[in-house]
A and B are shown apart, each in its own frame.
Chain A
Amino acid sequence: MHAVRNIRLCTKDCLCLYVCPTGATDTESGQIDATKCLSGCRACVDACPSHAIFLIPDEYPLQQKKTNDVKKALLTLSESKTRQEQLALTITKTSDDPIVRQLAQALSISNRLLAEDVLREAGYMLPQSQNVKDFLQSLLDTPQPEDFPIKTVEKLLSIL
C-alpha cells in the first residue's frame, strides 16, 4: 500500500511534507514518489487536513465471479447500448441541424456510459484481472487488420 495525492482535493497545507519520514512527498510534480514511500506508513494520510492523500493497494481483490446467466443478460444490454451509441454517432455525423447533432451527441455519450457500466459488471471490473488479460491475449491470438495496434496490446499485457 503506498500513498497517492488527489490533487483536486489538495489545499496546499503541506503537512505531508512535514510528516513524511523519507521525503517521498517532496516532489515538484504534486505526486508522491512511490519508490520512496514506505508501504503502509500512512503518516501523510492521517495528517492531511483535506483528506487528499490515500493509500492504494498493491494487490486488488480477485474479479468477482459472474455466472453465465448474469453475463448473458448483461451482454444483451451491452449489445443494445453500443448499437444505440452507433446510431446516435451516425446522426451527429450526417445531420446538418446543430440542435439535432447536439441531442444525438448527448445520447451517444449516455449510451457509451450505459454500455461501459454493464460490461464492467459482466466480469471486467479490474484492469489487472485475469479476465482482462484473457481478453487482451485473445486480441493477439486472432487475426487482426494490418493497422491493429499490436504493440499497445503487448505493452498492456506486460505491465498490467
Chain B
Amino acid sequence: MKKYICPICGFTYNESVGIEEEKIKKGTKWKDMPSDWVCPLCSTKRVDFLEEAIDVALNEKVPFSEEGEASTLRKLSIKEMSALCSNLSKGCEKQYRNEEADLFKQLSEYFKNKGDFTKDASFKDLSNLIQKDLDTNYKNAKNVITKSGDRGALRALVWGEKATNILSSVIKRYDKKKNELLENTNIYVCEICGFVYIGDEAPKICPVCKVPNMKIVQVKRR
C-alpha cells in the first residue's frame, strides 16, 4: 500500500485507509481513483500528486554552536537585513522583551526603506523567480539539508516550498482570470508560514502549517 501527497497543501492519500467521506473504500489503489478526483483540501488535480518517498534513516543530532561562530558566508543584502530584523523583533516579542522588539522593528523599517528600488515590476518577473525557486533552489536546498540532518531547516523548506507552490498557482490563476479572480472575494495570508488563500472565508486551519485561522489575516483592497 502506498501514499500519495498533494504538492500544494500536503494532504496525504493513503491507499490502505481510503477516504470514508468520499466513499473511497480502503484499499483503493491510486490508479483506480476517479480520474476527476481532486484534493479535498485545495482542489489540486490528481495527476499532480506525488508518491511518498520512504524516509531516510535518522540523522545525527546537529550540535549546538559555541560562541563566536562566523555567522554568515556572505554579507546580507539590505532587504535581507530588513527581514532578519523583523524576525528578530518577533523573537523578542515572544520572550516579552518589548524594548528590544521595538528597536529591531525600527532597524527593520530603516532597511526596508533603504536602497535599491526597482522602477518597474510585473507579476511575470515574480513568476520567473518563483519558478526558479521551485525548479532549482528548493531541490538543491533539500538535498543539502536532508544530508545534514538539520530538522529545523528542513521544516522551513517543507513549508516554504508548499507556500511557494501556492504563490505560483495564485499568479497563474491571476494570469488567466485577471481581476475577476479577486473582484468578488477575499485574499488572506497565513502570518506563520506565508500561505496565501483566495476565497470568501479563510480556511479553519492553515493547510500548510496547521495554525488556526486567528493567524490567517485578510489583505484589504486599498
Contacts and interface: CB of A to CB of B under 8 A. Distances in A.
A126 B132 CA distance: 30
B5 interface: no
Interface in A120-156: 120-127, 130-132, 134-135, 145, 147-149, 152-153, 155-156
Interface string A59-84: 01111111111111111111111111
B122 A106 contact: no
Interface in B119-171: 119-123, 125-126, 129-130, 132-133, 137-138, 140-141, 144-145, 147-148, 150, 152-153, 155-157, 159-160, 163-164, 167, 170-171
Interface string A105-129: 1110111111111111111111100
Contact of A102 (B67, B123, B141, B222): B222
Contact of B69 (A87, A130, A159): A130
B7 to A, nearest CB: 17
A79 B133 CA distance: 11
Interface residues of A, number: 80
Given A64-B65, A99-B183, A117-B193, A70 B118 contact: no
Contacts of B196: 106-107, 110
Interface in A29-88: 31, 56, 60-88
Contacts of A126: 91
Interface of B: 62-74, 76-77, 79-80, 82-84, 86-88, 90-92, 95-97, 99-100, 103-104, 106-107, 110, 114, 116-123, 125-126, 129-130, 132-133, 137-138, 140-141, 144-145, 147-148, 150, 152-153, 155-157, 159-160, 163-164, 167, 170-171, 174, 179, 182-183, 187-196, 219-222
Interface of A: 4, 31, 56, 60-88, 90-91, 94, 97-107, 109-127, 130-132, 134-135, 145, 147-149, 152-153, 155-156, 159-160
